[in-house]
Structure 1
């Protein structure tokens, strides 16, 4: 567990942090319409992938490698185990000079995330989780206490960019039942730790690319929270193009109540 955390911190120092607020125009590219990438993303992924493979020789499914060869993501289903890498989560923040970005790695076995690591360079904060063993922030065990009984005190994020409106009619009105609801920090590697740390009670995502959600989902569940599809099935690290919609919450009761409010099931 410690070795992977070292790989992320060292790669960040070598390939990512020196380019923060120092990117040139030629170092930012569009890999798909509306989807940008930087030289930092690509260089960091190459370094992380090489070092992970040296540590444990498994296929490496990296966000940027999948952008170049989408078939690579099938390893999540066809291989018994693989590494999953997001070299710079929150690339748009990184490009804009905002500090909300992270480097993330997961170890996936038979579609189930068994270990996860998140490194937040700007706060020098390291998160890790191991299936069945717990979650940690900078080596200290994380245990998420249940939310308060009053939903009007709950804080959450509803990520609306990819949300399908017809599935959530009246959502803008219903979320007023909660205390504070924002649209998130544009980086899963920042948002999931907010649940584990007790800063938020829930998160609603629609598009769920595996490199974005495998690390944080394990972190939250190992801290005592819930990360599940809207039908209640636990999150699994599936290739892109699979099921959409993911609700993350501090505890099972909060997850059930938040789901009912978001879907308009009360009353």
Structure 2
């Protein structure tokens, strides 16, 4: 794919997400009717907006590039679809409403996301934040952007006692949760997150956070933001140092995202005890 066609692809996918959001998601924000919010798993909800937006986005992405689509809601109905990440040379990943619990509760911290995976690596990603009209995009080896402006996260210079981070420990055993909370007291401020990866990852890319520790790493949640962070100068890697790749659900757990390599190493050392 040439440079010109790559530019067109980046622009077209951004348009697809914004248009699907305007059609199926935003009109339902704080306007969901009774019966339009369902529980798909214990503690996890889905709305008609998620399902309708995924159908729209998936169809239009396939028209743009005819490869399989691994969408969050489609995989919820048929988990075998996620194996395309391992077996197909190219795959679209789609999260139609990232932060569904926020969206259903009328909170503006939600996003619409997609990424393109080739040979197991994320090569392009898009995050649309409807509440603020903010579009993030990243392309492997080419950079990251916010509303068309290049992102370049400078290395951290503040001491660790001023660092800000997120610890997503919901899926950990209580003893490990308490151990991490205790270890993290050496940092300036840590909190439990904003319940939307599409809101959290940009905070690292833009300098508002120094790190995030995730445990469960569903591919549609983490593929877009991981590329955004790494292309802006940060690191997204498993706790053994292996760079993040979008594995199907049930794959490796634990993911540390940080502003730069030195910050990543220091946070891992501290949290490892």
- Structure 1: which 4+ aligned runs deviate by more than 3 Å? 164-169
Which digits, 9 at most, give the CA deviation of each residue in 1:224-260, with x for residues without a partner? 0000000000000000000000000000000000001
Unpaired runs of 5+ in structure 2? 1-9
* CA pair 172-16 structure 1, distance change in 2 beyond 3 A: same
Q: Do the aligned residues in 2 keep the contact of 1:168 with 1:263 (CA within 8 Å)?
A: no
How far apart, CA to CA, are the structure 1 residues paired with 2:118 and 2:269? Answer: 32
Which digits, 9 at most, give the CA deviation of each residue in 1:31-86, with x for residues without a partner? 12222100000000000000000000000000000000000000000000010000
* CA pair 131-21 structure 1, distance change in 2 beyond 3 A: same
Mapping 1:57-206, distance limit 5 Å = 57-167=66-176, 170-206=179-215
Q: Do the aligned residues in 2 keep the contact of 1:45 with 1:87 (CA within 8 Å)?
A: yes
How big is the alpha-carbon RMSD for the aligned residues of Structure 1 and Structure 2? Answer: 1.0
Q: Which residue of 2 aligns with 1:254?
A: 263
Q: Do the aligned residues in 2 keep the contact of 1:168 with 1:262 (CA within 8 Å)?
A: no
Q: Do the aligned residues in 2 keep the contact of 1:118 with 1:128 (CA within 8 Å)?
A: yes
How far apart, CA to CA, are the structure 2 residues paired with 1:146 and 1:108? Answer: 28
Stretch moving more, 51-60 or 155-164: 155-164
Stretch moving more, 173-182 or 218-227: 173-182
Q: Do the aligned residues in 1 keep the contact of 2:169 with 2:177 (CA within 8 Å)?
A: no
Unpaired runs of 5+ in structure 1? none
Alpha-carbon shift at residue 149 of structure 1 (Å): 4.0
How far apart, CA to CA, are the structure 1 residues paired with 2:217 and 2:110? Answer: 17
How far apart, CA to CA, are the structure 1 residues paired with 2:164 and 2:220? Answer: 25
How far apart, CA to CA, are the structure 2 residues paired with 1:164 and 1:234? Answer: 25
Q: Do the aligned residues in 1 keep the contact of 2:97 with 2:111 (CA within 8 Å)?
A: yes
Answering whether residue 217 of structure 2 is matched by residue 208 of structure 1, we say: yes
Number of aligned residue pairs: give it: 264
Q: Do the aligned residues in 2 keep the contact of 1:144 with 1:225 (CA within 8 Å)?
A: yes
Q: How does the TM-score come out when normalised to structure 2?
A: 0.95
How far apart, CA to CA, are the structure 2 residues paired with 1:233 and 1:140? Answer: 29
